[in-house]
Copies of this chain bind each other. A is one copy, B any other.
Amino acid sequence: MTTLAVSTPPVCAAEAPDIPRAPVPSGSVGYVSPQYLSFDQPLTLSSGQVLPAYTLAVETYGTLNAQCSNAVLVCHALNASHHVAGMDADDPSQIGWWDNMVGPGKAVDTDRFFVIGINNLGSCFGSTGPTTINPDTGQPWGASFPLLTVEDWVHAQARVADHFGIQRFAAVMGGSLGGMQALSWAIACPDRVGDCIVVASTARLTAQNIAFNEVARRAILTDPDFRGGDYAAQGVVPSNGLSVARMVGHITYQSDAVMASKFGRAQRAPGPSGDYRYNYDVEFEVESYLRYQGEKFSRHFDANTYLLLTRALDYFDPARATGGDLAQALAAVQARFLLVSFTTDWRFAPEHSREIVQALLKNRREVTYAEIDAPHGHDAFLLGDARYHAIVQGYYDQIAQRLGLGERRQTTGVLA
């Protein structure tokens, strides 16, 4: 493997004096910028196609120790990126998607761990994918970018580990699709994963999960502005389809109860005596919220990428190779596991996690399982539930102890 280049963005934020810099909040990793790691060795994909070269956008937090034993890989879910923690140096309003979890003194403590976030191959935040240039044609890959699997991501990411000299991760961690990647790492590279932390995830999508993905894909594929995936070359964006796709996804990330408490049946702009307005504009607050989410998403996310990522979700099924026997599929894993699920997550309900727990126990692997009675549905994995974070923190403290990474730095109490 050859690392072609390690580049920083063309204009380093530190050199851009017009971006106001607020003081770094306590517990934040501060202002961060991605690196772009390019690999020129061909990558053979699950589909049989070969990607001749690729670049991955990567952020790191904390310091890799001399033994390279304190590295944690954080894998992202559908719409996130390498920007896991801190404030983007170029746009400080962009806070990392798991900033409440990763930072100095936080559950994943960057005072002791070296944390890596990688934008998935095929995604649209700086890594090679449908929006980047196909060197063979000089045009964006668009719809011609090969379909990928979770396993392909693991293989692509393994080269990042090699680049940093990390033979074995202290932990690989992720929620939702990121949890699938963590599980896949433990299967594909059993000697490279010390601990595997799988949150709100599953060993395979159900028919209902696939069905929701299919609705999202149909909305995109049948948008006339999709143009068979070549919308970029034709100067259009299938924003209506992408917006509908995001709306349907968004509903599945939240529990019925949390939507009820956030929005209920509140009206957006009722008439004088609370009257309905009798049209198809926004009538209820929940409609306004969904439209906003859909439109926002359609402005910053790429449609081909959305198709690719949902298909990778559909395809993930490690037990497919073992006739459906998940225990057998996990027979070679060496990692210890922490699994966390949330009671109101109806996208990947607790049974999904329990199935993985059972399969690991059959293999006499060391497993910790927490089922958190939280109201927030699937999105709970991104939120700051104190019990959830305490469990993850305690788990990482054990990892640190085993690896001799030292104690958590004591924060100054109010009485000190």
Contact = CB atoms under 8 A, between A and B. Distances in A.
A391 interface: no
Interface in A256-270: 256, 259-260, 262-265
A294 B214 CA distance: 12
Interface in A309-348: 311, 314-315, 317, 320, 346
Contacts of A68: none
A283 B314 contact: yes
Contact of A218 (B49, B284, B291, B317): B291
Among A207, A244, A274, A294, which residue has the most Cβ atoms of chain B within 10 A?
A: A207
A276 interface: yes
A317 B290 CA distance: 21
Interface of A is mostly: helix
A230 interface: no
Interface in A10-31: none
A210 interface: yes
A301 B217 CA distance: 22
A365 to B, nearest CB: 25
Q: How many copies of the polypeptide does the oligomer hold?
A: 2
Interface residues of A, number: 56
A206 interface: yes
A274 B321 CA distance: 10
Contact of A280 (B215, B217, B256, B264): B217
A219 to B, nearest CB: 5
B210 A286 contact: yes
Contact of A259 (B146, B208, B280): B208
A212 B250 CA distance: 10
Contacts of A265: 204-207, 210, 317
A77 B283 CA distance: 22
Contact of A240 (B206, B210, B222, B307): B222
B218 A294 contact: yes
Interface of A: 46-47, 49, 146-147, 204-208, 210-212, 214-215, 217-219, 221-224, 240, 243-244, 247-248, 251, 254, 256, 259-260, 262-265, 274, 276, 278-280, 283-284, 286-287, 290-291, 294, 307, 311, 314-315, 317, 320, 346, 349
27 contacts: A46-B276, A47-B278, A49-B278, A146-B278, A147-B278, A205-B265, A206-B259, A206-B265, A207-B256, A207-B259, A207-B264, A211-B259, A211-B290, A212-B251, A214-B284, A214-B287, A215-B290, A217-B280, A218-B240, A218-B244, A218-B294, A219-B219, A221-B280, A256-B346, A280-B307, A283-B311, A284-B314
